[in-house]
Amino acid sequence: MAEFEKQNKTTFVSAAELAVQGEYIQKVRAVLEARYGENPKAYVHTYGCQGNVADSERIKGMLCQMGYTFAESPENADLVLYNTCAIREHAQDRVFGNVGLLKPMKKEKPNMIIALCGCMMQQKHVAEKIKQSYPFVNLVFGTHAIHRLPELLCGVLCEKKRVFSVEDSAGVIAEGIPSVRDDTQNAWLPIMYGCNNFCTYCVVPYVRGRERSRKPDIIIEEARELAAKGFGQITLLGQNVNSYGKNSGFDMNFSGLLRQLDAIDGDFKIDFMTSHPKDCTTELIDTLASMKKFSGHLHLPVQSGNNRILAAMNRGYTREHYLGLVEYAKKSIPGLDLTTDIIVGFPGENHQEFCDTLSLVREAQFASMFTFIFSPRKGTKAETLPDPVSHAEKAKWFKELTDLQEKITKGEI
Ligand code: 5AD
Ligand code: SF4
């Protein structure tokens, strides 16, 4: 796993490299004008999490610079771009299905460009499958190549090549790319990228690179602009926002960043996701309690209520630590809207261990939760573990859990 070494040096894309992309933008603009006239249309569809939504907003920003306007459906588009998700098998199957549906469309409109990007494409075996079995796909790029979209698209349009850019990387930060936002109420604001936690079930550290934080002054300036534009909520994004600033070379942690953002003028709330319980400190909870602009929502994924399973997941905390945090947070922040994620049926989990998750859920009294049946991901440790419990049995446990949460949400428990 040498290529996934846990190095933390943040690499920023240089102004010179971004200027090169600026030249490609002009080149693509000219080719598009000659080919489609005034109004080439792009259809961008996003699968998966808010991180992907934020990436798509920047992708749309670049497409806009290249002269595209946006279509509501693939049928009306000259460029169809799917930003894909790899978190569970089900998400991947949907993408393959929907890409397959583009084949007849492309037959009718041979000039249509089909592009795939995002976490799924950052996996070698997926990119290879697209290369071999989906010859009508023109462009494939991974999460590390987003800022190079103008150059990659130029390869397709100007040189009429099939382009694949899915090299592994620890990841970079590219600033100064504009966003086209769909939502007028909430604005996504990434504060960091990547993940270093290597939870044993999770593909994210392999497809999103190492943890790296954006500079505080850039984030604060962006938040100021969003507030001035009238967004009612700014949601800070990162796989583990609680480790913001670690190994970054600047002296600011997540609590410090929140305090600075809270001081910005304007009528807006601050939300964030996702918090990792192992890095959720009492300093952070005290900060939230003291803020004027905290949304009141804390998403704190627990994943399991059993200590053996938490250790097997490499989560870095115990059930007792988690419940202690919940108690402190609820005491400090009256009316806290606490939500969580839970995985049912981690390899080797038995019914007794699952019952510990049920009892934790009763105790923590979440406002709501996102529940998932374990899905083996290629290249992760959990994929290699014996998994004797049948899917039907896991589905029964899953229903027990969602039934319990429904009763809690209704106030019956
Ligand atoms: N199987 C099932 N659920 C998963 N998650 C992440 N990886 C997997 C997997 N392999 C869930 C976790 C995480 C959420 C975003 O997705 O609960 O918090
Ligand atoms: Fe995946 Fe764990 Fe990182 Fe979250 S913290 S993205 S679950 S490895």
Alpha helices in 165-253 (DSSP H): 204-208, 216-229
Report the alpha-carbon distance of residue 276 to residue 292 in Å, rounded: 23
As a whole-number percent, the residues of the chain with pLDDT over 70 amount to 98
- 403 three-state secondary structure: helix
CA distances for 218 relative to 53, 89, 149, 385, angstroms:
20, 36, 22, 43
141 lines ligand 1 (CB under 6 A): no
- The ligand with the least distance to the CA atom of 373 is 1
Sequence-distant (≥ 6) Cβ neighbours of residue 261 within 8 angstroms? 219, 220, 223, 234, 236, 270, 293
Mean pLDDT (the chain) is 95
Report the alpha-carbon distance of residue 336 to residue 250 in Å, rounded: 31
Alpha helices in 248-348 (DSSP H): 254-262, 282-290, 307-312, 319-332
Report the alpha-carbon distance of residue 413 to residue 411 in Å, rounded: 6
pLDDT band at 62 (very low <50, low <70, confident <90, very high): very high
pLDDT at 146 over 60: yes
- Closest ligand 1 atom to residue 274 Cα is 18
Domains 2-165 and 176-409 alike in fold = no
pTM of the model: 0.95
pLDDT at 8 over 80: no
The per-residue pLDDT for range 274-323, each reduced to its tens digit, is 999 999 999 999 999 999 999 999 999 999 999 999 999 999 999 999 99
- Residue listed under structure tokens 């992760």: 380
pLDDT of residue 35: 87
pLDDT of residue 36: 82
Does 168 or 332 have the greater pLDDT score? 332
For residues 97-109, average pLDDT: 95
Topology of the domain covering 2-165: Rossmann fold (3.40.50)
Q: Residue of the nearest CA to atom 7 in ligand 1?
A: 202
pLDDT of residue 249: 87
The per-residue pLDDT for range 350-369, each reduced to its tens digit, is 999 999 999 999 999 999 99
Short-list 341, 342, 359, 344, CA closest to 393: 344
pLDDT at 87 over 80: yes
pLDDT band at 7 (very low <50, low <70, confident <90, very high): low
- The ligand with the least distance to the CA atom of 209 is 2
pLDDT of residue 241: 97
pLDDT of residue 38: 74
Residues in the ligand 2 pocket, defined by CB under 6 Å? 195, 197-199, 202, 204-205, 239-240, 276
Among 203, 239, 272, which is best to mutate for testing ligand 2, by the most ligand atoms less than 8 A from CB? 239
For residues 110-128, average pLDDT: 96
The per-residue pLDDT for range 171-193, each reduced to its tens digit, is 999 999 999 998 999 999 999 99
Among 274, 310, 341, 369, which is best to mutate for testing ligand 1, by the most ligand atoms less than 8 A from CB? 341
For residues 5-14, average pLDDT: 73
pLDDT of residue 10: 80
Q: How many angstroms is it from 113 CA to the middle of ligand 1?
A: 32
Q: How big is the chain, counted in residues?
A: 413
For residues 246-253, average pLDDT: 92
Q: Residue of the nearest CA to atom 17 in ligand 1?
A: 341
pLDDT at 2 over 70: no
pLDDT at 409 over 70: yes
Report the alpha-carbon distance of residue 179 to residue 18 in Å, rounded: 15
- Closest ligand 1 atom to residue 341 Cα is 17
240 lines ligand 1 (CB under 6 A): no
Sequence-distant (≥ 6) Cβ neighbours of residue 324 within 8 angstroms? none
The per-residue pLDDT for range 37-61, each reduced to its tens digit, is 778 999 999 999 999 999 999 999 9
- Whether the link from the prior residue into 11 is cis, omega within 30° of 0, is no
Q: How many angstroms is it from 203 CA to the middle of ligand 1?
A: 9
CATH number corresponding to 176-409: 3.80.30.20
Domain map of the chain by residue range?
A: 2-165, 176-409
Q: How many angstroms is it from 240 CA to the middle of ligand 2?
A: 7
Q: How many angstroms is it from 302 CA to the middle of ligand 2?
A: 11
pLDDT of residue 3: 43
276 lines ligand 1 (CB under 6 A): no
